[in-house]
Amino acid sequence: MSYVDSICIKFLSPSVIIYGRGNSLFIQREKLKESLQLKTYDKIHKISFIDCGNNAHEIVCSAGRDILLTKVVDNKFQGTGSITRFNDWISSIKYLKDGIAIITRHNIAALLELEDNKLIIKKKFKCDDNSTLYCSFIHGNAWKDLIFFSGTALGELIIWKKDELSKESTTLYQKSTHNGVIFSVSYDEDYHGIVTASDDRSIKVYRPNESFSELKELSQLFGHTSRVFVCKIIKYNEEVKFISAGEDSNICFWTENGTLQSKKNISASGGIWDLDYDLKNNRIVTSSSTGKLNQFLLDKIFHEVYSQEVISTREHVEPSKLIYLENGTLCAIDSRTQIYTKMSTNNQWIKVEHPYISQKIVAMDVFKNRLFLAVKSSILIFDYSQIYEKLNFTFELNVDEKFPLPQESNYIRAIHVLNRNEIFLSDVYGSCMVVNVESKVVKNLFKIPKSIEPWTTSVEKIDDYWIIADRVGSLYLYRNDENDLSTFQMPIQKLSKLHGLTGVTTIRSMDNDFIKTTGNDGTIKTLHLNRKTSQLEFCQLERTHVHFIEKIREYNDESYIHGFNDNFFVMYKDREIIYEHKCGGRHRHWDVTLINKDDCKVQFAYIYKKQVHCVEFYLNNFKIDTPINDKSNIIWHTKPCNVLKVIDDSGILISGGEDTILKFTKIEMMEDGNVLYTKIADINSHISSIKAIVTWRENDEEKGDDLNIISLGSRAQIVMTKVIKMKYVKEEINFMLTNSLLCGNSKETTFDTETRFTCAFFDVKRRHLFVGCSDGYLRVFKLQHNEFSSSLKPFIESFYGKCILHITMIKSFILTMATDGIVCFWYFNEMQEEEIEHRHNLNELKIIHKLQHNQNGINCFDVFTINDDHYKIATSGDDTGLYVTEFETVDNSLIKCYKTIYSYGIHIAQVTGIKFITSDKLLTVSVDQTLCKVEIKSDKFTIIDKKFTCISDVKGFSFFNENLIFVHGAGLEAIKYF
């Protein structure tokens, strides 16, 4: 099982898709997934097939220089398949009636035929232009009729074919069309049109003449913010559409006249490499750089019913507020405090009869089909009558006397409905109450501390605790005391600016005393209510793609974020923008309701330019049905994974990389030998790339045995996280220099914000965190705990002068390895803090021995313990040399190194992983995508076994219970231990 680029995807039939993921070919039918055992050397780039009847298909795939042939019968792979290797990279492949056609990367067309289970070149001819191609397309079904389309690095489009007379190629058309690489070219015979997609972020549509010697450029389409990798022409309900997708994770749906009809973003999946369209079900499937597949149901995507209405024809009267009842009735209030309703089933606005409202309606809320309006110091309650199908005024509650502050200037500023009869009110002076509207009994009184805007934006109750957010961005915790109504309760805890200055927009309680909050800083934060300390503790942060989060709501048990990006209303889920609509921005009244549960059809209403606008659409996400034989639910890093650690005893995989996400994944070995990956949490605390992870357990009754993780990386950031009960993740420390500066203690640190923390080791006993830094320092931080929190304090440091890449500890010695290829043994004598006169006293942290290993950077190492005093260290790196030295710790300040043995030529590219299996056997992995088992005998290194990995840009490997090897880099692959 791997998470790696899925570069090509095809519909084999309306219900069956076939796709390449890394160097494996997969087929997915209904809810079953199957992979072909035979694997290619390079990743699978192109797939073509021919229908042989009786539900049988011949499949051909190109993968670099390899061509894979296999057969699918009754939607299952049949036989083992075969691979033929050619000299040049295959750019395009197509199954014809009379063979298999290919175009190579050097613009050569060839006809292949199968002979003795091997493909052989029957015919070939080259295009006049032999530029290296970035894309190509083969049109036609028989060799003699083929037309070839080629796209080059220089933006040239070449259309060529075989000249029947000369048997050589004829270039029909050749011209520079794009201002950059052409990544995709496609021709549609029915439309008689060509589309190209390019590095210049655009798509071009052309109409060729009959002989393809002239092309008329019809339009150039711009909708992508990054490179466009694929573009196709499709026919949807007799209409021509252009579909494009690319590096920006956007899929754009264009009409024939060049209008961008819809754009969907699936950034969690990474860049989109390929797409295919099924005409029967109007379904598009895409494959992406994380290996994730997505589907887009065009009937649902294109369904958008829009209306804009004036609710009152009276002059100078305009809608001011709106809200939906549970039954889908839209309630709107105009500037003259007149209330109107409109049912979702008809378009008639009905005036609601109610007592005269002399003052402005300040706030409103709904519980099911009951509407609450706050006017000055009164609450007006309306109920929807199912019998009369209209909203009726029910009663009014005056809370004048219940608020103790000046009545003239005071009024209810916010209302939050708790249930049918209980509401939470706050006034302009920060006085809050919980009142039962039927019994008129006040149940609680709270006071928000003084501020410019001390009224509430969101409220949540957990048993006897109340969590209240105010308009200036503070979150308060109150402990309930129902019996004491003589005074206003004051908060027991304040969290300032939790989501910045503009307030917490939602507070949602979850299981086990966890709370999620959102705000206009685009983040979701998880807090935990610690009942022992009666404190809210920060756990984790999730950055979303929504700049201003306003609400979280559930539709059909799925949670959606509602918010705004620029002028657009956005609905967002699982790092995907499900829907967006241009509505003018966030400063307006709006609401959303589910109008059809079965289809998940919703309606979004908003006020814009004095009118009520409604838009109806489907809330379909882009998930493909999860196969029952692979329930893994993780989405892998969208950028290279720098570091990965497997916690053997609990089966947790912790990973971090360039996408700044610290990922916690549960791994389980399945009976069929596959790995089940289950998401535990994605932590967004890092602001830049993650370079190193250290883990430990306290194994202490007081401190518990929770798993602790320290992750470090760029921008001089250290994050300490705790995994509680292997289920929840809590951030304990987020150390950043900017925080130190804010606290005014910048003098405590000597490093710059641009320093990268490249490696770390935690000494559990002495609570020291040793950190290798890109500014050439080895730094020691002290981890300190008190009753409520933990902190990291810079303690001592020593300048080495090279970027330190790895660090470990043997007994009391610190070992560092840097870009100079030297293994340094450091002696570290911890003195009591008061003993150290100068913070940077180098005498306490000094190099006692240097061991020259590699020629330059050491990218990996491992230490083997021979006995109490004797060890072996193995290193390798950019120079590909494998170095092994035996050393002895003589006493606490002396190292004795014995002979160093080394070997070059095991790998041909940078070695990024090395591990001792025994004292004379090593496992290594390299950017050359090879894992080698190496034996050392008589000082000589011999490869005794090898395995290939489909992961490119390999950054290292980790082991799980001696069953699996996880290779990480540009993806993740689990390889059986060998």
Q: Does 202 bind other proteins (CB under 8 A)?
A: yes
For other proteins, the closer of residues 254 and 770 by Cβ is 254
Site string for other proteins, 910-929 (x = CB under 8 A): x----------------xxx
* Cα gap 518→508, rounded to integer Å: 9
Q: Where are the alpha helices (DSSP H) in 748-798?
A: none
Q: Which of 180, 584, 627, 704 binds other proteins (CB under 8 A)?
A: 180
What does each C-alpha distance from 619 to 377, 436, 561, 691 come to in angstroms?
39, 36, 12, 38
Q: Which of 143, 183, 560, 618 binds other proteins (CB under 8 A)?
A: 183
Q: Is 143 helix (H, G, I), strand (E, B) or coil?
A: helix
Q: Which of 89, 367, 393, 959 binds other proteins (CB under 8 A)?
A: 89
For other proteins, the closer of residues 298 and 433 by Cβ is 298
- What residues between 333 and 372 interact with other proteins by CB under 8 A? none
Q: Which residues contact 765 (CB under 8 A, 6 or more apart)?
A: none
Q: Which of 134, 604, 781, 795 binds other proteins (CB under 8 A)?
A: 134
Closest distance between other proteins and the C-beta of residue 330, in Å? 25
For other proteins, the closer of residues 831 and 909 by Cβ is 909
Stretch that binds other proteins, among 326-334, 362-370, 462-470, 773-781 (CB under 8 A): 773-781
Q: Does 952 bind other proteins (CB under 8 A)?
A: yes
Q: Is 145 helix (H, G, I), strand (E, B) or coil?
A: helix
Terminus-to-terminus CA distance in the chain, angstroms?
Answer: 16
Closest distance between other proteins and the C-beta of residue 635, in Å? 17
* Cα gap 66→88, rounded to integer Å: 9
Q: Which of 208, 223, 430, 657 binds other proteins (CB under 8 A)?
A: 223
411-414, long-range: CB < 8 A, 24+ apart: 411/359, 411/362, 411/376, 411/377, 412/362, 412/363, 412/374, 412/375, 412/376, 412/377, 412/378, 412/379, 413/362, 413/363, 413/374, 413/455, 413/456, 414/363, 414/374, 414/455, 414/456, 414/457
Q: Does 2 bind other proteins (CB under 8 A)?
A: no
Stretch that binds other proteins, among 352-360, 698-706, 835-843, 903-911 (CB under 8 A): 903-911
Q: Which of 6, 523, 685, 774 binds other proteins (CB under 8 A)?
A: 774
Q: Which of 8, 61, 68, 221 binds other proteins (CB under 8 A)?
A: 221
For other proteins, the closer of residues 72 and 860 by Cβ is 860
Closest distance between other proteins and the C-beta of residue 463, in Å? 43
Place of tokens 């819809």: 262
Closest distance between other proteins and the C-beta of residue 201, in Å? 4
- Which uninterrupted H or E stretch holds 796? strand 790-799
Q: Does 179 bind other proteins (CB under 8 A)?
A: yes
Q: Does 779 bind other proteins (CB under 8 A)?
A: no
* Cα gap 241→263, rounded to integer Å: 13
* Cα gap 612→594, rounded to integer Å: 18
Can you give the length of the chain in residues? Answer: 978
Q: Does 651 bind other proteins (CB under 8 A)?
A: no
Q: Which residues contact 486 (CB under 8 A, 6 or more apart)?
A: none
- What residues between 135 and 164 interact with other proteins by CB under 8 A? 153-155
Q: Which residues pair with 812 in a beta bridge?
A: none
When computed from its CA atoms, the radius of gyration of the chain, rounded to whole angstroms, is 33
For other proteins, the closer of residues 126 and 443 by Cβ is 126
- What residues between 736 and 765 interact with other proteins by CB under 8 A? 751-752, 754-756
- What residues between 21 and 50 interact with other proteins by CB under 8 A? 42-43, 45
Q: Which of 1, 7, 375, 737 binds other proteins (CB under 8 A)?
A: 7
Q: Which of 132, 439, 829, 865 binds other proteins (CB under 8 A)?
A: 132
Q: Does 850 bind other proteins (CB under 8 A)?
A: no
Q: Which of 37, 176, 209, 225 binds other proteins (CB under 8 A)?
A: 225
The full DSSP string for 445-479 is EEEPPP-SS-SEEEEEEETTEEEEEETTS-EEEEE
For other proteins, the closer of residues 228 and 323 by Cβ is 228
Q: Which of 6, 338, 880, 958 binds other proteins (CB under 8 A)?
A: 880
* Residue 331 in tokens: 């309630």
Residue 467 phi/psi, 5-degree rounding, is -115, 120
Site for other proteins (CB under 8 A): how many residues? 97
Are 815 and 882 contacting, i.e. CB atoms less than 8 angstroms apart? Answer: no
> What's the DSSP call for residue 970?
S
Strand order, beta sheet including 283-288? 272-278, 283-288, 293-297
Q: Does 776 bind other proteins (CB under 8 A)?
A: yes
Closest distance between other proteins and the C-beta of residue 709, in Å? 23
Q: How many CB atoms lie within 10 A of CB 51?
A: 12
Q: Which of 820, 844, 862, 973 binds other proteins (CB under 8 A)?
A: 820
Q: Does 174 bind other proteins (CB under 8 A)?
A: no
- What residues between 57 and 76 interact with other proteins by CB under 8 A? 64
For other proteins, the closer of residues 113 and 754 by Cβ is 754
Closest distance between other proteins and the C-beta of residue 744, in Å? 19
Closest distance between other proteins and the C-beta of residue 17, in Å? 21
Closest distance between other proteins and the C-beta of residue 623, in Å? 23
Closest distance between other proteins and the C-beta of residue 860, in Å? 12
Burial string for 321-345 (b: 16+ CB within 10 Å, else e) reads bbbbbeebbbbbbbbebbbbbbbbe
* Cα gap 864→915, rounded to integer Å: 9
